[in-house]
Amino acid sequence: MAGTRLDPIDRKILAELQADGRMTNVELAKRVGISAPPCLRRVRTLEEQGYIKGYHADVDARELGFEVQVYAMVGLASQAEADLSAFEEKCRHWPLVRECHMLNGEVDFILKCVAPDLSGFQKFLTGQLLTTANVASVKTSLVIRGAKDEPGVPFDILEERLSTLP
Amino acid sequence: MAGTRLDPIDRKILAELQADGRMTNVELAKRVGISAPPCLRRVRTLEEQGYIKGYHADVDARELGFEVQVYAMVGLASQAEADLSAFEEKCRHWPLVRECHMLNGEVDFILKCVAPDLSGFQKFLTGQLLTTANVASVKTSLVIRGAKDEPGVPFDILEERLSTLP
DNA sequence: AGTGAAAGTACAGCTGA
DNA sequence: TCAGCTGTACTTTCACT
């Protein structure tokens, strides 16, 4: 898995599909410089090996009525593994929580939440998050405006690194 | 644009393409209950109107050698609009910064960064971010582990809301 | 290379204001 | 009536063996 290193063509495929996940296979093949059939085999292999975890349309949250984005920093009373896992499981079941990451430092978790409006978020905050067992502190920050939101990884950095240490 | 409301089929299309952005049009048409040609026309319209902003393959950052994810909370010395914009523009040019959002509250911006390793991030932190004009404070938190990372919005919540207030 | 399926186009019928 | 959306039929392009 981790031993199966990728060649430059595989990395190009990943970079192209990260930029446009709905590109046809022939277009992709043209861009990476091989013919279509082997290109398709490579894509399937990358999917099976987990380098590609899925494909998603990027929908406009605001246009769909989710006007509010909030980051919530959560501190727990107990950081025992069972308690951490229990909180993570809660987050997986809350639809308004789109991301949940465990952090080092002062807070234990950062949550990225969306909501239709402020009152919708407040309802979630006071009715769900703050009433959850073991939640000791929650600090929320509203997103005033988004300046950059690029999914995935910077492939140019990856290529730079690989060219310096082969 | 905002006036052009979506019907239930459009919302179903968005939900399906958010879940699987590489689904074929005929499969999509089958799932939303119409035939392929009008389905394709709807997809094109949704793209043109900006409801769909793009399609992206979800690549595994760790497998590709980006072992480190970091949230950086940035405070600026001046919050004048020109200074805020200048900082946002910087972020757009830094490949390691994948997301940049302006927040209310104590900090001005939250940055989601990826890096190949800790030293790679430290190099960015000390060499780029901390030396940027107007940056007053930076607090970083390493992502220990990810518990949830769902792109987009929860369509089930959207349908709930629309069914209660038509 | 070749087959079967999907994407995309043109046109005609249906439905609701 | 007319606008808008739908489905059928057809051509081109693509996926897959």
Q: How many CB pairs under 8 A join A and B?
A: 243
Which pLDDT belongs to residue B1?
36
Q: What is the pLDDT of residues A100-140, one digit of tens each?
A: 999 998 899 999 999 999 999 999 999 999 999 999 999 99
Nearest to B14 among A1, A57, A100 (CB): A57
Q: What pLDDT, in 10s, does the model give residues B17-59?
A: 999 999 999 999 999 999 999 999 999 999 999 999 999 999 9
Q: Would you state the structure tokens that stand for residue B22, as one six-digit string?
A: 């590489």
Is pLDDT at A1 greater than 60 in this prediction?
A: no
Q: Do A111 and A72 contact (CB within 8 A), yes or no?
A: yes
Q: For residue A109, what is the nearest residue in chain B, using CA coordinates? A: B143
Question: Model-level pTM greater than 0.85?
Answer: yes
Nearest C-alpha of chain A: how many angstroms from B48? 12
Q: Considering CB atoms only, which of B52, B150, B156 is closest to A58?
A: B52
Residue B165 has pLDDT above 70, yes or no: no
What is the distance in angstroms measured between the alpha-carbon CA of A73 and the sugar C1' of C12?
A: 59
Mean pLDDT of chain A: 94
Average the pLDDT over A154-165 and give the result. 90
DSSP per-residue codes, B13-59: HHHHHHH-TT--HHHHHHHHTS-HHHHHHHHHHHHHTTSEEEEEEEE
Q: List all nucleotides in chain D with at least one atom under 7 A from a protein Cβ.
A: 5-9, 13-17
- pLDDT > 70 in chain A, percent: 97
Distance of alpha carbon A87 from alpha carbon A84, whole angstroms? 5
Instruction: Name the closest nucleotide to A23, judged by C1' and CA.
Output: D14
**d(C-alpha A90, C-alpha B55), whole Å:** 29
Which residue in B has a C-alpha nearest to residue A50's C-alpha?
Answer: B60
Provide the pLDDT for residue A4: 61
